[in-house]
Amino acid sequence: MRFRSIDGEWVVDVIRLSLTGDHRDGECFRLTRHGFFVAEARTIGELRQHVDPAELEEALARGGSAVRPLLAR
């Protein structure tokens, strides 16, 4: 699943990890800016340290209802 800011500057990918050697199974968020890796976050709180969730909410609300549950966690 991929979410993009309104201006296209930020992209958040939801990554599902399984069978990892260091037991990091589950979902995480990979944040890129202009295509370059910025950070990886395990929680929405960590993600909010890097990008304004209001900007993503507005952009994602246009694309469907998935944004509300995602950013409300």
Residue 4's pLDDT is: 80
pTM: 0.65
Whether residue 53 contacts residue 61, with contact meaning beta carbons closer than 8 Å, is answered with no
Residue 66's pLDDT is: 40
Query: Structural domain tally of the chain?
Result: 1
For residue 12, the Cα-to-chain-centroid distance in whole angstroms is 3
* Domain that residue 42 falls in: 2-72
Residue 65's pLDDT is: 39
pLDDT in tens, the chain (73 residues): 887 877 778 888 888 888 877 877 888 889 998 999 999 998 888 888 887 777 666 656 665 434 434 444 4
Residue 68's pLDDT is: 39
Give every CB contact of residue 73 below 8 A, 6+ residues apart in sequence.
43, 44
